[in-house]
């Protein structure tokens, strides 16, 4: 029997309940959509760009959103992950500050710059300094529930922004697509959840293949690339495991050449390909040719195909698969998936400066 089928072990190795947070993503998305529908809106007439400022677990929701709406939004959408804003940000830019804790220094710094430049603003947090400033500045604010790890609150960082963009008329309404995404995740939960034995559970099986290996996660532009980055971050933070992600077709123009050396390391790479039936036909072909080139060098290759009809459902199906896989990998690694002591230490050191 796989260690991952021992439910007592899963409960004792995960005292904060990351497994429940992972499994609860569909319900979180429903609640998050409601929050986004009720949030006060910024003035968006004449907006020429959208910039989301945020870091880590709070920025990834914006990355996913950016990739998802790229084919529809008529104005540029950028995710900025640092202290300073790009020079173009002005009164005609909508700046959305997203910080789960509300206390991330890079996000607060960018928020301050956006205010100085007179940008239209919107803020989202579970509280903290960002909420305090937004309330004091009269910036439209969406409060999301506290008590989660930021990465476990992905629904709360992504879905309200989706609802806000559609209410502002920047993208079409997504209520139906979100309902489908929730339905697809609920169906997947029966397959990927803790109660399903490894013999029938693709996420447990994939975690076992990734155990002791270096996971390389490849997605495609415009949106599964952001999902690949989400997988990488989840493997890093939940499983405390190094990981790498990259994007097709871009990686065919550089990384493909690098699989030869160092041999003792490439042999430890376990590749995960995030596949979607609507990827560009040339990208589909690139996945196949790339697999052929990689296979002799790497430990193994697994394809994970998206499920569902709408892009949103397909995107969430891949996220859900990755969240479960990284959670199971944490338990195989024998680490508590929730705490991220290194991030806490870094934030503490930087706060002293």
Is 347 annotated in the active site?
Answer: yes
The least distance separating ligand PA5 from the CB of residue 263, rounded to whole angstroms, comes to: 33
The least distance separating ligand PA5 from the CB of residue 72, rounded to whole angstroms, comes to: 26
Applying CB under 6 A, among 10, 44, 73, 343 the residue interacting with ligand PA5 is 343
Applying CB under 6 A, among 133, 143, 151, 275 the residue interacting with ligand PA5 is 151
Q: Does 243 bind ligand PA5 (CB under 6 A)?
A: no
300-305 and 77-80 beta bridge pairing: unpaired
Order of all β-strands in the sheet with 141-143: 77-80, 49-53, 93-99, 120-125, 141-143
Secondary structure, 3-state, the chain: CCHHHCHHHHHHHCCCCHHHHHHCHHHHHHHHHHHHHHCCCCCCCCCCEEEEECCHHHHHHHHHHHHHHCCCCCCCEEEECCCCCCCCCCCCEEEEEEECCCCCHHHHHHHHHHHHCCCEEEEEECCHHHHHHHHHHCCCEEECCCCCCHHHHHHHHHHHHHHHHHHCCCCCCCHHHHHHHHHHHHHHHHHHCCCCCHHHCHHHHHHHHHCCCEEEEEEECCCHHHHHHHHHHHHHHHHCCCCEEEEECHHHHCHHHHHHCCHHHHCCEEEEEEECCCCCHHHHHHHHHHHHHHCCCCCEEEEEECCCCCHHHHHHHHHHHHHHHHHHHHHHHCCCCCCCHHHHHHHHHHHCC
Q: Does 104 bind ligand PA5 (CB under 6 A)?
A: yes
Nearer to ligand PA5, 100 or 324 (CB): 100
Q: Does 16 bind ligand PA5 (CB under 6 A)?
A: no
Q: Does 335 bind ligand PA5 (CB under 6 A)?
A: no
The least distance separating ligand PA5 from the CB of residue 200, rounded to whole angstroms, comes to: 30
Candidates 45-53, 55-63, 68-76, 202-210: pick the segment binding ligand PA5 (CB under 6 A).
Answer: 55-63
Question: Taking the mean position of all CA atoms in its chain, how far away is CA 90?
Answer: 28
Q: Does 208 bind ligand PA5 (CB under 6 A)?
A: no
Is 237 annotated in the active site?
Answer: yes
* Footprint of ligand PA5 on 265-284 (CB under 6 A): none
Nearer to ligand PA5, 177 or 237 (CB): 237
Is 297 annotated in the active site?
Answer: no
CB atoms inside a 10 Å sphere around CB 350: 10
Nearer to ligand PA5, 127 or 222 (CB): 127
Catalytic site residue from 253, 282, 341, 352: 253
Q: Does 101 bind ligand PA5 (CB under 6 A)?
A: yes
The least distance separating ligand PA5 from the CB of residue 48, rounded to whole angstroms, comes to: 26
Q: Does 57 bind ligand PA5 (CB under 6 A)?
A: yes
Nearer to ligand PA5, 30 or 105 (CB): 105
* Residue nearest ligand PA5, Cβ-based: 56
Applying CB under 6 A, among 19, 36, 42, 150 the residue interacting with ligand PA5 is 150
Applying CB under 6 A, among 180, 237, 279, 323 the residue interacting with ligand PA5 is 237
Contact 234, 323 (CB under 8 A): yes
The least distance separating ligand PA5 from the CB of residue 227, rounded to whole angstroms, comes to: 16
Q: Does 58 bind ligand PA5 (CB under 6 A)?
A: yes
Contacts to ligand PA5 by CB under 6 A: 55-58, 99-101, 104, 107, 149-151, 237, 340, 343
Task: Indicate which residues carry an active-site annotation.
Answer: 237, 253, 347
């Amino acid at each position: 029997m796989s260690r991952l089928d021992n439910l007592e072990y899963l409960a004792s190795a995960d005292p904060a309940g990351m497994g429940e947070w992972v499994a609860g993503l569909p319900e979180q998305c429903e609640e998050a959509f409601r929050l986004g529908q009720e949030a006060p809106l910024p003035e968006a007439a004449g907006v020429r760009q959208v910039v989301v400022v945020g870091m880590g677990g709070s920025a990834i929701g914006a990355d996913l959103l950016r990739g998802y709406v790229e084919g529809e939004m008529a104005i540029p959408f950028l995710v900025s992950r640092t202290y300073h804003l790009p020079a173009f940000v002005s009164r005609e830019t909508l700046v959305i500050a997203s910080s789960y804790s509300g206390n991330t220094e890079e996000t607060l710094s960018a928020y301050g710059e956006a205010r100085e430049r007179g940008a239209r603003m919107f803020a989202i947090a579970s509280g903290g300094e960002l909420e305090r400033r937004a309330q004091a500045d009269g910036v439209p604010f969406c409060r999301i529930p506290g008590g989660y790890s930021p990465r476990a609150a992905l629904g709360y960082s992504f879905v309200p922004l989706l609802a806000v963009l559609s209410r502002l008329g920047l993208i079409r309404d997504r209520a139906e697509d979100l309902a489908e995404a929730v339905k697809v995740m609920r169906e997947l939960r029966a397959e990927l959840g803790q109660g399903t034995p490894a013999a029938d559970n693709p996420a447990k099986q994939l975690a076992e293949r990734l155990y002791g290996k270096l996971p390389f996660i490849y997605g495609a532009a415009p949106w599964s690339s952001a999902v690949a980055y989400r997988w990488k971050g989840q493997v890093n933070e939940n499983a405390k495991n190094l990981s790498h992600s990259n994007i097709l077709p871009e990686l065919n123009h550089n990384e493909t050449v690098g699989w030869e050396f160092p041999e003792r390391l490439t042999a430890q790479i376990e590749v995960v390909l995030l596949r979607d039936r609507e990827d560009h036909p040339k990208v589909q072909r690139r996945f196949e040719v790339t697999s052929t080139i990689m296979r002799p060098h790497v430990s193994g290759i697994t394809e994970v195909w998206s499920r569902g009809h709408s892009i949103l459902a397909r995107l969430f199906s891949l996220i859900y698969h990755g969240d479960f896989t990284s959670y199971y990998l944490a338990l195989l690694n024998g680490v508590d998936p929730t705490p991220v002591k290194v991030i806490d230490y870094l934030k503490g050191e930087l706060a002293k400066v």
